[in-house]
Structure 1
C-alpha cells in the first residue's frame, strides 16, 4: 500500500514540475532564452528592432536586451515589465539615440542598469534621463564606452542622484581626461568608481567622494598620482597600465600621517616605475595585496617589504629589464602567503648572491612562483634560498635551467601538493625523489626531455594519491621501452593532463607525429622483437669479435711468424752450415729489400767480396730453392757470423725484412751473434719505423751511405771496422 501511495505522489509531483516548466518555457519570447534557475531572460544579439521590451515570464528578475535596435527609450518602452520585479536591466549596444526623462521611473525594483556602448547618446540628454532614477534605489550604473566628446567630466551630470544610493559607477572608455568636483555631485554614497581605459592624467578632485572604497584608474595616462587627493576611505586602488615612474607616496611629507590608512589592495603593475624609495616607510598598515609586475625595478634593497605587516599577496612578475640585485632580507615578510616572482631573468645561482637571498622568513608562504629565472641544483644553494617553507603547498619552477630534479627538492616541502617543473631539460625521474610522507597530488613535467618512463619512475604510493600529472610535449620514442607508459596512460586517461592529443611519438620515423594512444604494439611483438634483437646483437657481436681477432692477427702476422720460428727452432735447434776455418759458412748475412738490390749486388758485393774477400749471404743467390723462406732465413742467419741490415723506406715496408730484423735482434739479445751492423741507405720517416727499429737505432751506431766521394771513403772505412769486431 505504501509503495502505491509513494508512486502516486511521485507521479503527481513529476507532472506538476513538468507542467510548470512547460508553462514557463512557453511564456518565453521566441527570440529569448529564459532560465528559471537563474531567474533570467537573455534576448541579446538578435538585432531585433524593438519599441517595447518583450513580455517575459513572471519569475524573470534579470533581463538582457544587448545588441538589439532600440533607438528610443521612453516610459512606455518597459510597459511589458511592470508586473515583474526586475532588478537588472542591460541594454548595451542597442543603438539608442534618445532617452526620455522619465524612462525608468516605473522599474521600482531596479538595482543594476547597464547602458554601455550606446555611442549616439550625448551627455546632456543622459543627464536628464538619469533624473528618472530618483524614484528607484539603483545600486549599480554602467555607462562605459559611450564615446563622450567631453574631456572634463563636469556639468553636474549626476546631480539628480543626490540623496540616492548608487554604489557602483562604471565610466570606462569615454575619453575622460579630468574628473571635476562638479562630477562628484550626486555621488556622495558611491563606493566603487571604474574609470579605466580613459585618458585621465591626474588623480585630483576625487577626495570629495568620501564614501569611495574602490577606484579603478587602469589604462590611463597618469604620470604621477598624489595620494592626498584620494579619499582616505579607499580600500582598493588600481593604477595598472599608466605612466608612473615612481612608487607613489602614501605618507604625508612629515611622515607622521598615513594618507590611505584603510588601503587593502594596490595594483600599479605595467607602469614605468624604476624607483621604490617610497616603499621603505611605514605607510601600509592595512595593505594585503600588492601588484608591481611589469615595471622597471632592477633592485630590491634590504627589507624592501618590511613595512607591510599584513601583506598576503605580492606580485613581482616580468620586470621590463629583469631583476639584477636582491639584497639580504629583501623578502622578510612573515605574513606573506603568495609570492609571484616569475620571468625576471634573475640568476639565483650566482655565487656572490646565493648566501644573501632567502625566502625562509616567509614562514606562512603557501604559493611560490620563481619560474623563468635561473635556479641552482645543489642542495646547499637550494636550502639557503628555500629552507624553512614548511607551509608551502604550491611551487612553480618552470624553465629554471634544470637538467635534473635536485635530490632533496620534495623533502624540503612536507606540505607541498602541486609542483610545476615544465619547460626544463629534465630527462629522468626516479622514485627515490619522492619521500613516503608527502602530500604531492599534482605535478607538471611537460615539455622536458623525457624519452621513456618505467614502473620505477614513480613510487606506488604516488599513484594512490595523484590527481593530475602532465607529461605532455616530451620526445617519446615509440618502441617497446614505452609500452609500460602507454599502458599507464590508457588505463588512467583522466589522470594525465592534455592526454591523448599532446602525447606524441617523436621517433622512429614511421611513428613520428602520431599520438601515443594510437601506438599499437603488444607484449608478444616486443617479445619477438626482443628475441630478434638478442639474436642480432649476438651475431653482430660474434662477427665484430671475429673481425677484431682477424685484424689483430693480421697486424701481428710477422710477430706470429717469428714466434712460430722461435717455437720450432728453440725446440729442435738449427743445423749450422760450416766451413773449415771459423765454423761459419758466411761472414755476413745481408738483409735488404728487393728495391735496394742494385746497391747490394753492384756496390756492396763488389766491395766486400771482390776486394776484401768477405763471404756474404744474399737471399737471391744463397737461399736454397724449394725450402720455406722462414727456414732459409733462420738457417742462413745462424750460419753467418754477423748480420748487416740495409735500411731504407723499402726495408721498413717489406714484410720479410721485418721478420729478418726480428730474428737478428732476438739472436743478438740472447748473445747468439755479434752486434748487428746497419747501413742507412736513405732517410726514413719516423712514422714508417716500427718499435724494434727504433730500439736498434737508439742503441746501435749505423753507417750512413752517401754519394760524395770523400763521404764514400769514410763510409767504407766505418763499415769495414764494424765488420771486423
Structure 2
C-alpha cells in the first residue's frame, strides 16, 4: 500500500469522525462524545479523576457537559474533579454517593447545573452539618432521590442560602416540614420540583406555612406527593406563582379545588395541573360550582383536569370559569350528556380544548397501586364563596354574552343549535369511543375562529350534516371512524378547510356511486391536502374531485384501485400523489402530463409513491415505463417498488431501468410474431365457434323457433297467474306415415279408452300454419311426446325434427322434467341413429314393443303408467 492510499484512508476516517453525531472518546475509548462538547461516561465504571485528568491534558476535547451516571461511585474526594474546571453541567445521578468531601467543587467556578440525584447523601438530616461547598455559579441543582440516605428520625430541608444564582431546584418533599426562612435569601429561585415521579415526596398536608418562605417562586411542582389536604391559604404568600402542578395526588379529589382556588386569587397563576387526583377505578365524579367558584377571580390561562373519571359539570358552574382561560385539558374522563354542554359558550376566551381518550379502559393491575375507589368526600357542598349567588351568576352570564344561565334548574334544549366559545380555535376528541352519527348541527354564534378539529379514532359511522358554519376551519380529521356514509350537504358549511383527513374509513362503496358523488366534495374548493387512504376504494368517478382546484396532495394509498379513472383537467395544483398498496400497473398519459405541467408552472417537483404496486417490463406499457424511469427521482422509495420481467421474474430497480431502456428494440422484433399470432388465434376461434354451433345446432333451432313464436305469433295459454301451466293434450304421438296402421289400430284405441287426449299431426295440426310451428306447439301443449321409433322414422326429416324439438323441450322449457318418451317399435341398428338420438337412448329409459301375448300386456301397462305420471 503506497503513501497516497494511506493518506486517503486517514483523510476519510478523520472526515467520518468529524461529521458523525457520536464517536468513541475518553479513557480507553469507553466514553461517547459528540460535536456539541458533550462527553458521556455513564455506566463505564471509570474513576472520576481519570476522566477529568484526560479532559484537562488533552487538546482534542473541549468538554463542557459531562455525564457520570450509574458508575457506582460511593464518595467524591477533593481531588477527583481536578481538571474538570471548565464544565458547565455535571451529571452524577444514579450512583451510590454517601459523602462529598468539602472543597470538591471549589474549582468548578463555571458550573451552572449539578445533578446528584438518586444517591444516598445525608443532605436532609438535620444532625449533619450542611455542606456549603456547592459552586456559587449554580443555576440548577438536583438533590432529589437522596431521602434513603437519611437515618435520623427528623429531617429538614438543606440550607442553600449561599447559592444566590440558583434558579431551579429539585428536592425530596418532606412530610409536615415547612421550607425554612433561609430560602427567602435565594431571590433568583423560580422553580422548585418536589415531584415523587423523580424522587421521594410525602407532603401529606400543605398548610399556610409550608411554602410561606417562597414568595419568589413562579413554578411549584408537587406531582405524586401523596397530598391529602390543602389549607385555604396554602399558596396565598406565593404572590409570583404562575405554574402549579398538583397532579397524581389521588387522595385530593375535586372538593379540594375550593381551597386551592381561594389562595390562587392572590397569585399570578397561569397554569394549574389538577390531573389524576381521583382514583382510576373509583366512581365517576362531578365538577361542581363550589369547586370553580374562586377561579372566577384568578388569572388562570390553562387548566389540566385529565384522568379524573369526570362525568358531569354542575349546571351554571361553567359561568364561573375565568375569562382569562385559554387552554383546557380534560382527557381520559367519562363525560356524559348534561345541560353544561349547552353552556360551553360561557368559557368565553377559550382557544384550545383537548378532550381526547374519553371512556378509556385502564389496566386492572393498577387497582392495587391506587387508593380505594370507594373514597367518600368528607367536605360538604356548602360554600361561602360569594360568586355562587344567583344574582352574581346571572350578571356574569349577561356580561359574557353567548353564555346561557338556567334559572332554578329549568333547562331548555334546542336540537338545532349549541353555543361554543367564540374564540375557540382548536378542538380535539381523539379515540374517545363516541358511537354516533353526526346529525345536522348549527352552532351559534357563527364560528369565526375554529381552525383545527380532530375527531379521529371514534365510531362516527355516518356523517349527515351539515355542521357549522365553521368559517375559518383549516384542518378537519375524521379518520378511523368506521364511516360508510357522507351526506350530500355535510361539507356545505366548512368550505374553507385546507387539510381533510378521512383515512381508515369505509367510504369506497359510497364514493363509487356516480349519482351521489357530485355533491359531496363540490363545496371543498380550498382543500389542499386530501387523505382517503384505507377506505376500500376500488373505483372513483372521473369528476369526483373536479371542484378541488387547489388540491396539492392526494393520498389514495392502501385501497383496491386497479385503474386510474379520475379526470385531472381541473387539478392544476396537484403535485403529491400517494398510490402505494394498490393494484396499479400503469398510469394514464393525462395524469402524467398534468403532473409535469404543474411542476413546470408552479416550480415545485411533483412526487409519486407507487410502492407495493406491480410493474412489468413489457411492450404494452413501455410508454408509461419510460416515463417512470425518466422521473425516477420523483418516485418516492423507487428502489422498493415491485418489478418483474416478461417471464414474471423479480427485478431490482436498477435491472428494471436497464430492461426498460431496451424495450424499443425488443418490441420491434415481436411485431411480426404478434401479427401472425393474432391471425392464428382468429382462425382457431372461428373453428371453435363453428364446432360449437354445429354441436348445438338443434338447441339453437329450438330457441330461435321458440323466440319467433313468442314475439311474433301467439303465446301459450295458462289457467291463471298463480296456477300451473295448462296442457291441451296428454301426449303428442310422433311417428312415420309408414307406421300409421299401428297408430290407428292400437295406440289410439288403447290410450283414448283410458280417457287420454292425444295429438296427431294428421288430425290435430292447424291447417295453413307452418309445419315447424305446428310441431313445436303440439310438443309444448302436450304433457308428453311419444316417439314411435322405427327404421322409417329415421328416414323422415320431420320425424327427426319432432324428436329433437321434444328433446330440447325436456331440457329447457319444462324445468328439467322428462317430457320425451321413446317407444322402440322395432329393432333399429344404432349405426342408423344420429348422435343426439343415440345419446338420448343410452341415457334414458325407453319402452320396447313386442307382439308376444304376455309381453304386449306389460308394454301397454308400462306405456299407460308412463303417460299418467
Greater Cα shift, 37-46 or 649-658: 649-658
1:367: which partner in 2? 499
Q: For 1:93-112, what aligned pairs fall within 5 Å after superposition?
A: 93=118, 98=123, 106-112=134-140
Q: Deviations over 1:610-665 (max 9, x none)?
A: xxxxxxxxxxxxxxxxxxxxxxxxxxxxxxxxxxxx96386799986658746999
Matched, 1:240 2:306: yes
- Contact 1:372–1:400 at 8 Å: present in 2 too? yes
Q: Deviations over 1:358-416 (max 9, x none)?
A: 44444654434343445442688667666655554434444345433454554444444
1:337: which partner in 2? 451
Aligned counterparts of 2:637 and 2:251: Cα–Cα separation in 1: 44
Aligned counterparts of 2:200 and 2:215: Cα–Cα separation in 1: 26
Pick closer, same or farther for the CA change 1:99–1:119 going to 2, 3 Å. Answer: closer
2:584: which partner in 1? 450
Q: For 1:80-159, what aligned pairs fall within 5 Å after superposition?
A: 80-81=107-108, 83-84=109-110, 86=112, 88-91=113-116, 93=118, 98=123, 106-114=134-142, 120=148, 125=155, 127-128=157-158, 134=183, 135=186, 137-144=188-195, 145-146=197-198, 148=200, 150=202, 152=204, 154=206, 159=211
Aligned counterparts of 2:37 and 2:421: Cα–Cα separation in 1: 44
1:682: which partner in 2? 823
Aligned counterparts of 2:429 and 2:791: Cα–Cα separation in 1: 76
Which of 419, 422, 436 aligns to 1:323? It is 436
Q: For 1:550-589, what aligned pairs fall within 5 Å after superposition?
A: 550-556=691-697
Aligned counterparts of 1:104 and 1:389: Cα–Cα separation in 2: 68
SS in 2 for 1:294: coil
Unaligned runs of 5+ in 2: 1-17, 19-24, 39-62, 167-182, 280-284, 361-412, 467-484, 702-734, 747-784, 805-819, 826-832, 838-847, 858-869
Aligned counterparts of 1:519 and 1:435: Cα–Cα separation in 2: 33
Q: Deviations over 1:678-701 (max 9, x none)?
A: x986399xxxx99x99xxxxxxxx
Pick closer, same or farther for the CA change 1:84–1:395 going to 2, 3 Å. Answer: same
Matched, 1:549 2:654: no
- Contact 2:541–2:565 at 8 Å: present in 1 too? no
2:76: which partner in 1? 51
Aligned counterparts of 1:558 and 1:409: Cα–Cα separation in 2: 47
Aligned counterparts of 1:177 and 1:649: Cα–Cα separation in 2: 109
2:341: which partner in 1? 279
- Contact 1:76–1:103 at 8 Å: present in 2 too? no
Pick closer, same or farther for the CA change 1:148–1:287 going to 2, 3 Å. Answer: same
1:216: which partner in 2? 273
Aligned pair count reads: 578
Q: CA deviation at 1:509?
A: 10
1:79: which partner in 2? 106
Aligned counterparts of 1:662 and 1:171: Cα–Cα separation in 2: 104
Aligned counterparts of 1:390 and 1:314: Cα–Cα separation in 2: 23
Pick closer, same or farther for the CA change 1:657–1:469 going to 2, 3 Å. Answer: farther
Q: Normalising by the residue count of structure 1, what TM-score does the alignment of the two structures yield?
A: 0.62
Q: CA deviation at 1:320?
A: 1.0
Pick closer, same or farther for the CA change 1:285–1:706 going to 2, 3 Å. Answer: farther
Q: For 1:444-483, what aligned pairs fall within 5 Å after superposition?
A: 444-458=578-592, 459=594, 460-464=596-600, 469=607, 471=609, 474-476=612-614, 478-480=616-618
Pick closer, same or farther for the CA change 1:680–1:476 going to 2, 3 Å. Answer: closer
Bigger Cα Rg: 1
- Contact 2:498–2:526 at 8 Å: present in 1 too? yes
Q: Deviations over 1:70-113 (max 9, x none)?
A: 444687554342x1151x44455556664578568854454444
2:667: which partner in 1? 527
SS in 2 for 1:317: coil
Q: CA deviation at 1:343?
A: 2.7
Pick closer, same or farther for the CA change 1:339–1:72 going to 2, 3 Å. Answer: farther
Matched, 1:267 2:329: yes
Q: CA deviation at 1:516?
A: 5.5
Q: CA deviation at 1:54?
A: 4.5
2:403: which partner in 1? none
2:471: which partner in 1? none
Q: CA deviation at 1:294?
A: 2.5
Aligned counterparts of 2:670 and 2:579: Cα–Cα separation in 1: 30
SS in 1 for 2:278: coil
SS in 1 for 2:436: coil
- Contact 1:270–1:293 at 8 Å: present in 2 too? yes
Aligned counterparts of 1:413 and 1:70: Cα–Cα separation in 2: 66
Q: CA deviation at 1:229?
A: 5.8
